[in-house]
Amino acid sequence: MSKQTHTVSTELALRLVADPCRRSILSQLIDSEETVIPTDTLVDRIDHEKPPPESTATHTDPVLIDVHHTHLPKLAEANVIEYDSRTKTVRYIPNERVERVFQFVTEELE
C-alpha cells in the first residue's frame, strides 16, 4: 500500500493555525503519543485550557458543537486529520508545514 502525501499551502496552514481552538486541537494531536484520540478527550483538554464561562450553563456543549461542526471538518478538509464521525475519533496526519507554522505561532507570537 502506498502512502499518499498531501501538501498544505502556507496560506492554508496559517488559516488552520490562526484559530485558538484549532491550535489547541493541533497541540493535543501533535504532542500525543496516541494515534487515535476520541473527540470527547480533545474537547475535555480544550475546556481545561479555557477559563470557565460567566454563565452557569455547562461549557462543554458549545465547545463540543464548535469542534464537531467547524474545527474538525476544516482540519479534515485540509487532510491534516482523519475524522470518523461514526466512532467520534480523530487521527492526526503529520504535516511538516502545518507543524512549522504551528510552532512559529505558539513560540514566537503567543
pLDDT tens for 3-62 read 445 689 999 999 999 999 999 999 999 998 998 999 989 998 886 655 545 544 454 578
| Cα–Cα distance for residue pair 105/86, rounded to 1 Å | 32
Classify the phi-psi angles of 23: left when phi > 0, otherwise alpha if psi is within -120 to 50, otherwise beta. Answer: alpha
CATH 1.10.10 assigned to domain 10-109? The reply is yes
∠11-13-17 over CA atoms, to 5°?
Answer: 120
* Contact criterion met (CB below 8 Å) for 90 and 72: yes
Predicted TM-score (pTM) of this structure: 0.81
| Residue boundaries of the structural domains of the chain | 10-109
Q: How far apart are CA 25 and CA 23, in angstroms?
A: 5
